[in-house]
C-alpha cells in the first residue's frame, strides 16, 4: 500500500516540541502537548471521522472510523502518545537519507556527531532504505510521533478504500506517557473497544504483550552536619550513608547487566549533601512474585540503615504499573490477530517482552487488552534516534490488516 503523505506528515509532527515534564502537576504536563493535540483534531476532522472529541480534562483526543459492513467484527482501537522523552527538543532538525548506503552516518559535521556502525551494528539492516535521523543535537520524536503518523495514515487509507470491510475502529492520542501519567486518566469505558493496540514499539516486526511490573521507592536520608574539626561522634554524613545504602543492592541486578525477563533495581536519581540526601530507585520485574520480593527487599534496605545509624531514613514506595501480560494471556485474540496481520504484510513477528511499559500496561488493567506493535525506529530518547520510512509503511499496513482480520 502507498502512503504518499506519510513522510511529509511525520516531518511535520516531529517539529512540534512536545516534551513532557515530570516536575509539572498539570494535565498535560506541558502546554505544547495541547497545541499538538488541537492540530491533530483538525486533521482528523479533515478525514471526516465520527465522534471526534478532545477531552480538556484528560487531554485525550479520540475519534471513530465507523464500520462499513453489517458483518460481525470486533470493535478495535489504536493508541499513541503525543509527548516525547526527557531530552533536548529545541530546534529539532530531521534529516532524510534516501537509499542509505549502510555506512556511518554523520549527523552533525560541525559537532562531529557520528552514528557509527561499530556502535550501532543494526544499521546494516537498513541498507537501501530511507532513514529519518536527527541532526545530532536533539531527539527525533519518533517515539511516538511515528505511531501517530502510522495510525492517521492507515485510517486515511481505510476511509479512502471503502471496499476494505471493517468494524468500528477507535483511535486515541494522549499525553504524558513518557512520565508514566497519561493513561491514568484514560477513559477506557468511553473508548469501549473489545481490545486495542498501542503503536509504540521499536523495530520492524515487534509485537509485545508482556511488560514489567513497576514500582518506585524514594529514600530520604537525614544527616547531621557538624564542623569537621569537631565532628567525632556527632556527624552523620548523609552522603556516605547514601553510598552505603546503594551498596546493599545486588551489584548485577541493574539494567546494564540484565535482559529478557530478568528484573532489576535502578538508582534513577540522587541528590546529596552532608545534612540530607534523596535517592530515587525504580524497581522492575515481569514476575509478580519476584516483583513483590524486590519491593520487600527495598524496604529492608532502609531498615538495615536505620538499625545502624538510628532513624535516619524515611521512604515512600508506590506501584507505577503492572505486567499487561497477566491480563492479555486470559484472552489472546488481540495478540493472535496482530501476529497474523504482521505475517500477512510480509514481516516476521518478533514477540518479546517489553523491558519497560506502555500506556497499554495500564489500559489493559482498565478492561481493554492492549498489546504493543512496532513503529519502525530505533535508539529512541536520544540524539541517535531514527525511523525507517519503509518500516513505518509496514506498520501502517499492519493496522489496515488488523482491521480486516478483527472478525468475531
pLDDT in tens, 178-207: 998 989 999 999 999 999 999 999 999 999
pLDDT digits (tens, 9 = 90+) for 306-344: 999 999 999 999 999 999 999 999 999 999 999 999 999
C-alpha cell belonging to residue 149: 503518523
Question: Cβ distance 246 to 279 under 8 Å?
Answer: yes
Q: Report whether 135 contacts 93 (CB < 8 A).
A: yes
Cβ-based neighbour number of residue 337 at 10 Å: 22
What residues contact residue 162 under an 8 Å CB cut-off, 6+ apart?
68
The DSSP string of 356-368 is S--HHHHHGGGT-
Task: Calculate Rg over the CA atoms of the chain.
Answer: 23
The predicted structure's pLDDT at residue 187: 97
Q: How far is 356 from 128, CA to CA, in rounded Å?
A: 31
Please identify which of the residues 32, 83, 153, 206 carries the catalytic annotation.
Answer: 83
Q: What percent of the chain has pLDDT over 70?
A: 100
Reduced DSSP (H G I as helix, E B as strand, rest coil) percent helix, strand, coil of the chain, to 5: 35, 25, 45
pTM over 0.95: no
Q: Which domains does the chain have, with CATH numbers?
A: 5-210+324-405 (3.40.630.10), 213-321 (3.30.70.360)
Is it the case that residue 297 has pLDDT exceeding 80?
Answer: yes
Is 83 labeled as catalytic in the residue annotation?
yes
Residue 356, pLDDT score: 87
Please classify residue 150 by burial: count the beta carbons closer than 10 Å to its beta carbon, then call 0-12 exposed, 13-18 middle and 19+ buried: buried
Question: What is the pLDDT, as a whole number, of residue 48?
Answer: 84
Question: Distance between CA atoms of 258 and 239, rounded to whole angstroms?
Answer: 28
Binding residues: 81, 143, 178, 200, 381
Annotated binding residues for Zn(2+), written as ranges, equal 81, 143, 178, 200, 381
DSSP summary character for residue 20: -
- Which of 32, 177, 378, 397 is an active site residue? 177
How confident is the prediction for the chain on average, in pLDDT?
Answer: 96
Q: How far apart (Å, rounded) are the C-alpha atoms in residues 65 and 230?
A: 74
Amino acid at each position: 500500500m502507498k502512503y504518499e503523505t506519510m513522510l511529509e506528515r511525520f516531518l511535520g509532527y516531529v517539529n512540534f516540541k512536545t516534551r513532557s515534564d515530570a516536575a509539572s502537576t498539570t494535565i498535560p504536563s506541558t502546554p505544547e502537548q495541547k497545541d499538538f493535540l488541537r492540530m491533530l483534531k483538525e486533521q482528523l476532522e479533515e478525514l471526516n471521522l465520527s465522534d471526534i472529541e478532545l477531552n480538556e480534562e484528560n487531554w485525550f483526543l479520540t475519534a471513530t472510523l465507523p464500520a462499513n459492513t453489517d458483518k460481525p467484527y470486533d470493535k478495535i482501537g489504536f493508541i499513541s502518545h503525543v509527548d516525547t522523552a526527557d531530552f533536548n527538543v529545541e530546534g529539532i532538525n530531521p534529516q532524510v537519507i534516501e537509499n542509505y548506503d549502510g555506512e556511518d552516518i554523520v549527523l552533525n559535521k560541525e559537532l562531529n556527531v557520528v552514528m557509527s556502525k561499530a556502535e550501532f551494528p543494526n544499521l546494516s539492516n537498513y541498507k537501501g532504505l530511507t532513514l529519518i535521523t536527527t541532526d545530532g543535537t536533539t531527539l527525533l520524536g519518533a517515539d511516538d510521533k511515528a505511531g501517530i503518523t502510522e495510525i492517521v495514515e492507515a485510517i486515511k487509507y481505510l476511509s479512502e478504500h471503502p471496499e476494505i470491510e471493517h468494524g468500528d475502529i477507535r483511535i486515541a492520542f494522549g499525553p504524558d506517557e513518557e512520565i508514566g501519567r497519561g493513561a491514568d486518566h484514560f477513559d477506557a469505558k468511553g473508548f469501549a473497544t473489545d481490545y486495542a493496540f498501542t503503536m509504540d514499539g521499536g523495530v520492524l516486526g515487534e509485537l509485545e504483550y508482556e511488560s514489567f511490573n513497576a514500582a518506585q521507592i524514594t529514600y530520604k536520608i537525614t544527616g547531621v552536619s557538624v564542623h569537621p574539626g569537631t565532628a567525632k561522634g556527632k556527624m552523620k554524613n548523609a552522603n556516605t550513608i547514601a553510598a552505603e545504602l546503594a551498596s546493599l543492592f545486588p551489584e548485577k541486578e541493574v539494567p546494564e547487566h540484565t535482559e529478557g525477563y530478568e528484573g532489576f533495581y535502578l538508582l534513577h536519581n540522587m541528590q546529596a549533601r552532608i545534612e540530607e540526601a534523596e535517592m530515587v530507585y525504580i524497581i522492575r520485574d515481569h514476575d509478580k512474585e519476584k516483583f513483590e520480593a524486590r519491593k520487600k527487599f527495598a524496604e529492608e534496605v532502609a531498615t538495615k540503615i536505620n538499625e545502624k545509624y538510628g532513624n535516619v531514613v524515611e521512604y515512600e514506595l508506590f506501584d507505577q504499573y503492572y505486567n499487561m501480560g497477566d491480563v492479555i494471556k486470559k484472552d489472546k485474540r488481540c495478540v493472535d490477530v496482530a501476529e497474523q496481520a504482521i505475517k500477512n504484510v510480509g514481516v516476521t513477528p518478533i514477540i518479546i517482552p517489553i523491558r519497560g511499559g506502555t500506556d497499554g500496561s495500564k489500559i489493559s488493567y482498565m478492561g481493554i487488552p492492549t498489546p504493543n506493535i512496532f513503529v519502525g525506529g530505533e535508539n529512541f530518547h536520544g540524539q541517535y534516534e531514527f525511523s525507517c520510512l519503509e518500516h513505518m509503511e509496514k506498520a501502517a499496513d499492519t493496522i489496515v490488516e488488523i482491521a480486516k482480520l478483527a472478525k468475531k
